Amino acid sequence: MNLKQIYKYGSPPNYFKLSLKAENWFLIPGILLIIVGCLGGLFIAPPDYQMGHAFRIIYFHVPSAYLSMSAYAYMAGAALVGIVWRSNVAFSVAKSIAPFGASLTFLALVTGMLWGKPMWGTAWVWDARLTSQFILLLLYLGYILLHLSIREQRKADLAASILALTGVINLPIIHYSVVWWNTLHQASTISKLSSPSITGDMLWPLLVMIFGYGFFFWGVICRVVASEILKREKRSKWAKQYIKELQ
């Protein structure tokens, strides 16, 4: 893909059409991968020798935790592109990621609590990993609320993007928290694919779920981005033309 093509998709109508086209290319594989991952994780993978069947929560907890962090990185990346190139499309992408990113962070925290209760004897401790993940949720919520609280679109985009970029510092803190501090939370399970700390028959459903979550996430984001672009461009000729073609 050359620069011309990249610039082409920087235009709202082109990105809008691309998003709607790409939606099912992400959603359908995402749903299939999640079904396969769930079957593998819940019924095929053997129970853990220490945690028994409780370890199966890993198939929901780890993918949501990974995706909550990578979604934040995508959001901050889009915010940076938006600031540098004053791109309405990039700001739309950043804004669209925030709600799903926040719900994934919430999911990571809740599934972590459901795993922690039977294994640690407590659902919550203020250790470095849990606290930094909780801060990630606050950053997402801060971004959403800041956007909602400023009426003028450009100012809202700029203020929320600065907050998103500031929050990037939290990502390495979350990742390395289990290395830098003594935490109740265990160390990473698959930080290195060459030497994961779980066996292959437990690992494959986890990888399938991680990809499934990612594909599904982008499928949903495609639709949200299309909505956001159309909303911002409702006065433009192409938006009016698109509505006419639908009728």
Residues that bind other proteins (CB under 8 A): 34, 38, 42-43, 47, 52-54, 56-57, 60-61, 64, 99-100, 103-104, 106-107, 110-111, 114-115, 117-118, 216, 220, 223-224, 226-227, 230-231, 234-235, 239-240, 243-244, 246-247
CB of 29 to other proteins, least distance (A): 14
Q: Biggest alpha carbon distance in the chain?
A: 63
Closer CB to other proteins, 47 or 172, in the complex: 47
Closest to other proteins by CB, 14 or 103: 103
> Of 157 and 233, which has the nearer Cβ to other proteins?
233
CB of 71 to other proteins, least distance (A): 12
CA distance 33 to 129: 28
* HSE, side-chain direction, 13 A CA sphere, residue 81: 18
CA atoms within 13 A on the CB side of 53: 4
Q: To which H or E segment does residue 110 belong?
A: helix 88-120
Nearest CA to 216 out of 15, 14, 37 is that of 37
User: Which conformational region is residue 121 in: left (phi greater than 0), alpha (psi within -120 to 50 degrees), or beta?
Assistant: left
Least distance to other proteins from the beta carbon of 53, Å?
4
CB of 57 to other proteins, least distance (A): 5
- Between 66 and 115, CB nearer to other proteins: 115
